[in-house]
Amino acid sequence: MLLSAFGTGSIVTLLLILVLVTLVLFALFLGGSLLAQGYLYQQPADRLPLRALAAALLVGLFITGWVWLDQRYPRRYDTFFEFAPYQTQEFNEFEAVRWMSLDGTRITRDDAGNPIEVTVKYRRGTGPRPTVFTEEETGAPFQLNGVSQSGESFMTAAIRLRPSPEAEPIRLNAQLNPRSSLPTYTNERRFVEVNGSSYVEADQLGVLYVPSTWTVLVALLINVMLFVVWMIAFWPLLRFTLGHAFGLTVVMGLVTMLLVMPVLFKPHRAAPPAERTTQLIGPRIISLASGDGA
C-alpha cells in the first residue's frame, strides 16, 4: 500500500534525505556541542552522543516529513518566504469568451455599448500534447488573441469553466490594463473569478487556483513548528541554556528555511512555464509579456 501511494522512487528519495540529514545533524550536534558546551559550561551534557542522535532524528524526521508534504502538494506549504496560499483544482475543458474587432483597433459593441461576446469551447489535448487546449470545432490551439477564420481580430476577455463536474460554471474575467485605449492584458495574464477570488493563469491553463485560509494557517503552523523542533533539539535534548538555545534556534531555523529546504524541494518540482511571446493582433502588436500595446 505504501509503495502504491507514494511510488518507489519517492520512498527511496525520502529515506535518503532522512539518513543524510540525520547523519549530518548528528555530527554537527555532537561535535558542536562538545566544543560549545565545553567552552560555555566547562563540561558537556551527560550522554551527549545519545542526546545528539535523538536531536538529529527529531529534526531529520521533521525536515523529511516537510519534503514529503511538498511532494504531494508542491509549493502549497513552502517556507514563510515562498508558500502559495491556495489550493488547486484541475479542469479539462472551458469556454473562451471573446471580444471581436473588425479593424483590430476597436471592440465591436452592441446598441447598449457593451462588447459583443462570442463563445468558443476548448478541450484538453491527449497523447503527446496533454497540456494543450484545442478548439472543439477546428482543433486550433488556444490563443489569448489572434484572428478568427472570418478575418476578425479577437481577444479572450473571459473564460467559463466548472471547478468540478458537479459544480455550476463560473466566469473568470481577464485582468485588463485600464489605462490602455485598446484593452490589453496586465503583466499577471490572469483570469479572476467574478465576485470571487479563484483565478487561472493564462500560462497554466487547466489549473484553477483557489485561495485558502486553511492552507495559509497550515503553512504558517509548519514554519513555526520548524523553530519549535530546533528549540527542542537545543534546549531539553542537548541541554543548552534557554538563552543559548533560543539564539541557536533562530540561526538554524533561518538557515533551514533559506538554504536547506529550497534545495530539498527543488528536484521534484515542475519547471517554470515557458517564456512568454509576442503575437500579432490584427494590425497591432501586443506584447503578451508586458501587456502593453505597441
Convert 155-186 to b/e letters by CB count within 10 Å (16 or more is b). Answer: bbbbbbbbbeeeeeebbbebbbbeeeebbbbe
C-alpha cell at 285: 502588436
Amino acid 9: pLDDT: 60
* pLDDT mean over 170-175: 95
**pLDDT band at 8; cut points 50, 70, 90:** low
pLDDT of residue 284: 39
- pLDDT at residue 235 above 90? yes
Q: What is the mean pLDDT of residues 274-278?
A: 37
- Residue 131 CA to residue 117 CA, distance in Å, equals 26
Indicate if the pLDDT at residue 194 is higher than 80. yes
pLDDT tens digits for 124-140?
A: 987 677 779 999 888 88
More confidently predicted of 293 and 126:
126
Contacts of 9 (CB under 8 A, 6+ apart): none
pLDDT value at residue 139: 87
pLDDT of 212 > 60? The answer is: yes
Does residue 121 or residue 273 have the better pLDDT?
121
3-class DSSP state of 173: strand
Give domain limits for the chain: 2-85+213-268, 87-211
Angle at 47 (CA atoms; ends 44, 53), nearest 5 degrees:
105
Task: List, in order, residues 6 or more apart from 218 with CB less than 8 Å away.
Answer: 77
pLDDT score at 162 = 92
Average pLDDT, the chain: 86
The predicted structure's pLDDT at residue 290: 36
pLDDT-derived band at 270 (thresholds 50, 70, 90) equals low
Q: Which of 2-16, 140-154, 221-235 has the highest mean pLDDT?
A: 221-235
Tell me the pTM. 0.65
The confidence score (pLDDT) of residue 271 equals: 53
Residue 65 scores a pLDDT above 70: yes
> What pLDDT is recorded for position 291?
38
pLDDT tens string 27-61: 999 999 999 999 999 999 999 999 999 999 999 99
- pLDDT value at 281 more than 50: no
- pLDDT over 70 for what percent of the chain? 86
Model confidence at 267: pLDDT above 80:
yes
Torsion from C-alpha of 103, 109, 114, 119, nearest 10 degrees: -80
- Give 85's pLDDT tier (boundaries 50, 70, 90): confident
Which of 100-114, 184-198, 225-239, 276-290 has maximum average pLDDT? Answer: 225-239
